[in-house]
Structure formats: C-alpha cells, structure tokens
C-alpha cells in the first residue's frame, strides 16, 4: 500500500478518509494495452458479501497523495455472473496523478483501501434488447454488463466501441470471442477516429434505428456521450428508464473550492431544521439534523443505512429526490441539469437551508 505518512497524510486524516474502506490485496495485474492495465483483487471470505456487486458498478479507492487523500472510482470490468474475480481496469490519463501512479507503481502483493461496490449504471431487469456505447476506457463497465446480459438471458445486444485507433482497443480478444460464441445475439461495431473520423450521429442511428424499444447504455468521454445523447433524442428516445449514462469526471481535491449548487422545491431558505424527513426502502423516518451536517451524515448518525460510496460528490450513489425544502450542494460533479431540474440531489453534499426538508431515496 502507498504509505500515508510518506505521502504527508496525518494518521487522523487517513483514519477519517478510510472509515468506510477495506484493505484489499492485489492478486494479479494484466497489461491490457500500453496505457491501460487491469488490477485483480483478492477478496477475503469474510468480505464476500460486502463486495458483492451488480454488472456495471465500480470500486472507489482512497489514495494518499501529496498531503491529501484522493478518491478515485474505477469500474469493474469483471462480471458477477461469469467471473470469479473482482477486476478493475485503469487507463492512463495525461497528467492524471492516480491513473499514472496505479499504472507505474502498483505491484502484485500491494494493498489498497477500497470502498465496497457502488454505482447506478447497472444492468436492468427488463428483458428487452440492449444497445451499448463505449468510448475508450468506457468499455470497462460496458463489458461487465455485456458479459452478464449474455449469460442470464436471450436478449439481443449491439455494441458500438469507439477508440482513437486500433491500438487503443481494450479487451478486443475477449469481445471477439464473445461475438463468436454468441452468433446472432451479439453484434459489435468498432469505430476508430484515425480511420473513420470522430463518431457521428449517423453511425449511432445505424446501430439503433431498427429497434428503439430497448435499453441504451452509454459510457465514455464527454464529446462522445454528447453525440449519442443528441442522436437518441432526435430519434425520440427519452426517459431515464431506458437511457443509462456513466460519465467520466475528475473530482475536486479535498479542500479545493467548488461552486455550490442550490436545489429547492417551493421553499425559501429560512434556517436550519431540527429534523428532516427521509424516505428509505419505502419507510419514512424523522431524522435529527444539526446545522452544517450533510443529509447523508444525519441519516447515518440516526442509524439508517443509506447508499453512498465516494462522499466526494461525483459517483451519484447517494442521490435522492428532494420532495420538499431547500438544500445546497457543496459539490456536484455528476448530476446533469435535467436531473437537478427533477429534484435529484447528492445527499453526501447537501446541507439543509429550510425548516422543512423531505428527501426520498429511489426504491
């Protein structure tokens, strides 16, 4: 493990940052392509339940770095159905402090502090067809969904995988073997910027126009995602129930300034509540509230077990809908304007600004 003290992190800061983490040993490292490697973790028997996951979820890591504890989340490229290991894939990012560190310094036998799996970009229970869109290392959660969907049902699946060139393709051999083993069910199209040009809306329409009554999963860089979302909107595909999105974000460092985001119903800021109403797993709870607390902190202090992962405002695991009141989010690196307009907030970042506040977690 990277030593917190040698990175200038105090014992107290390290203990606070890793309170919801477990120490996992690296059992294997696979060099996928020159700038990406997969890291396989050994899961002790007593942590099997804690590290159970759904296809498409991620692990979050707490890394000491130059006096701070940085949080980074990497998607599980393994499948909970077909693979007996927990594998994340990390691609180097130019000037990416942690991605470069994990690609150069991490070795088999090292340990990392890891938050159990989280994330809402998961394979749904519906039995309709699936269209998958992956850009670059966005293939990591997508291949988990792909392998799982092939294993547990008979849905037809189309994958469009875009990269800058052929050398950048991660998991090509595995994907090609899946195509051969699932002829007629799985269709894959590769797109390369250097030979095909940047992904176009026309290419997206060619993949999906024959069947718009399916689920769409999108993961990749911002411009790639924008093209697909606009193409789907032009085709009349709308709604959070059918379009599933996972975006790449660079979280703020601890202590860095961020622009607060206010979300309100018809309330006006009028002080701090003595208690807030939290609906979790279909049950309503009155939760004592202290000024300055996040909603997540208040709920956990009251003995509730709400979902959360990164606690940094970028993974969306802790999101809930604001049904009444006014809250201010310190950081929001993942909720889109449409989600904010619908009243969704990140409870790890939300501080209450009105006397009455009611938040409802999704079932």
CA dist 124 and 213 (Å) reads 14
Boundaries of every domain in the chain? 11-118, 130-247, 261-360
User: What pLDDT does 285 receive?
Assistant: 97
User: What pLDDT does 255 receive?
Assistant: 59
Measured CA distances, 339 to 5, 110, 240, 273 (Å): 40, 39, 9, 25
pLDDT, tens only, 151-187: 998 999 999 999 999 999 999 999 999 999 998 899 9
User: What pLDDT does 125 receive?
Assistant: 82
- What is the per-residue burial (b if ≥16 Cβ within 10 Å, else e) of 201-219? eebbeebbeeeeebbbbbb
Strand 68-75, strand 58-65: pairing: antiparallel
Intervals of the chain under pLDDT 50: none
User: What pLDDT does 16 receive?
Assistant: 87
Q: Which CATH number fits domain 11-118: 2.40.30.10, 3.40.50.11740, 2.20.25.570, 2.60.40.10?
A: 2.40.30.10
Strand 319-324, strand 243-247: pairing: unpaired
Q: Count other Cβ atoms within 10 Å, centred on residue 193.
A: 15
User: What pLDDT does 275 receive?
Assistant: 96
Written as six digits, the tokens of 124 are: 């749904």
User: What pLDDT does 308 receive?
Assistant: 84
pLDDT, tens only, 174-229: 999 999 999 889 999 999 999 999 999 998 988 888 889 899 999 999 899 999 99
Q: How many residues does the chain have?
A: 363
Measured CA distances, 147 to 140, 185, 197 (Å): 11, 12, 28
Q: Which CATH number fits domain 130-247: 3.40.50.80, 3.30.70.330, 3.90.1520.10, 3.40.50.150?
A: 3.40.50.80
User: What pLDDT does 99 receive?
Assistant: 93
Nearest Cα to 158, choosing from 195, 131, 198?
131
**pTM: predicted TM-score of the whole model, two decimal places:** 0.83
Q: Which CATH number fits domain 261-360: 3.40.50.1110, 3.10.20.30, 3.30.70.270, 3.40.50.300?
A: 3.10.20.30
User: What pLDDT does 251 receive?
Assistant: 61
User: What pLDDT does 184 receive?
Assistant: 87
């Amino acid at each position: 493990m990277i030593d917190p003290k040698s990175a200038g992190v105090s014992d107290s800061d390290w203990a606070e940052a890793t309170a919801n983490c477990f120490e996992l040993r690296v059992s294997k490292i696979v060099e996928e392509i020159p700038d990406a490697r997969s890291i396989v973790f050994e899961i002790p028997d007593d942590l099997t339940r804690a590290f159970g996951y759904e296809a498409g979820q991620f692990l979050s890591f707490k890394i000491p770095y130059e006096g701070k504890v940085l949080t980074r989340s990497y998607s599980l490229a393994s499948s909970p159905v077909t693979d007996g290991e927990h594998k994340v894939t990390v691609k180097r990012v130019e000037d990416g402090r942690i991605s470069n560190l994990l690609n150069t310094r991490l070795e088999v036998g090292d340990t990392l502090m890891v938050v159990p799996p989280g994330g809402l970009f998961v394979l749904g229970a519906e039995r309709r067809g699936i269209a998958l869109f992956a850009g670059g290392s966005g293939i990591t959660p997508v291949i988990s969904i792909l392998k799982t969907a092939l294993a547990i049902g008979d849905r037809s699946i189309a994958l469009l995988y875009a990269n800058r060139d052929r050398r950048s393709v991660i998991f090509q051999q595995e994907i090609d073997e899946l195509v051969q083993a699932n002829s007629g069910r799985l269709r894959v199209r590769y797109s390369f910027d250097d030979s095909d040009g940047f992904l176009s809306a026309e290419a997206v329409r060619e993949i999906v126009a024959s069947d718009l009554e399916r689920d769409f999963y999108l993961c990749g860089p911002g411009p790639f995602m924008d093209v697909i979302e606009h193409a789907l909107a032009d085709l009349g595909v709308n709604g959070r129930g059918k379009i599933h999105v996972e975006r790449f974000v660079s979280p703020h460092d601890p202590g860095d300034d961020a622009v607060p985001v206010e979300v309100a119903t018809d309330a006006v800021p009028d002080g701090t509540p003595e208690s807030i109403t939290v609906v979790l797993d279909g049950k309503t709870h009155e939760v004592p509230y202290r000024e300055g607390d996040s909603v997540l902190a208040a709920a956990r202090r009251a003995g509730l077990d709400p979902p959360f992962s990164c606690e940094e405002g970028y993974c969306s695991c802790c999101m809930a809908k604001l049904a009444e009141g006014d809250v201010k989010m310190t950081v929001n690196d993942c909720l889109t304007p449409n989600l904010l307009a619908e009243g969704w907030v990140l409870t790890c970042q939300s501080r209450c600004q009105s006397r009455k506040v009611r938040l409802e977690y999704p079932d």
